[in-house]
Amino acid sequence: MLMAIIFGCIPICVRAQIWSSHTSPRSIALSGANVAAPRDGRDANPALFPDTSFNLGIDFMPFPSGLEDSWTAGAAADDPIDSQNSIGVSYDKFAYGSIYSSESFAAQYSRSFGNERTNDADSIERSNAHNKDALAVAGVRLRYSSDTYGDGQYYYPLDEISVDVGAVLRLARQLSLGVAIDDLATLYRSQDIGADVRSAALGLTYRPIGELSLHAAIQSATGYPLDVLGGIEYDLEPSITLRVGLESLTGNFSGGVGLHYDAFLIDFSVMHHPFLGDELSFGVITKL
* Residue 163, domain CATH: 2.40.160.60
Q: What is the CA radius of gyration of the chain?
A: 18
CB 214 within 8 A of CB 31: no
- Cβ partners under 8 Å of residue 148, min gap 6: 100, 101, 102, 157, 158
Evaluate the CA torsion angle 188, 190, 195, 199 in order and state its sign: negative
Q: Which amino acid is at 84?
A: Q
Q: Which amino acid is at 288?
A: L
What is the residue range of 133's domain?
A: 2-287
Give dist(CA 109, CA 48) in Å, integer.
8
Number of neighbours of residue 230 by Cβ within 10 angstroms? 19
Tell me the CA end-to-end span of the chain in Å, nearest whole number: 51
State the total domains in the chain.
Answer: 1
pLDDT value for 80: 87
- H or E segment and range at residue 94: strand 85-96
- Cβ partners under 8 Å of residue 261, min gap 6: 239
pLDDT value for 65: 63
DSSP 81: S
Q: What's the Cα-to-Cα distance from 43 to each of 73, 77, 166, rounded to whole Å?
A: 14, 12, 11
CB 231 within 8 A of CB 34: yes
pLDDT value for 155: 58
Number of neighbours of residue 53 by Cβ within 10 angstroms? 14
Listed as ranges, residues in the chain with pLDDT below 70 are 1-22, 52, 64-67, 115-133, 150-156, 193-196
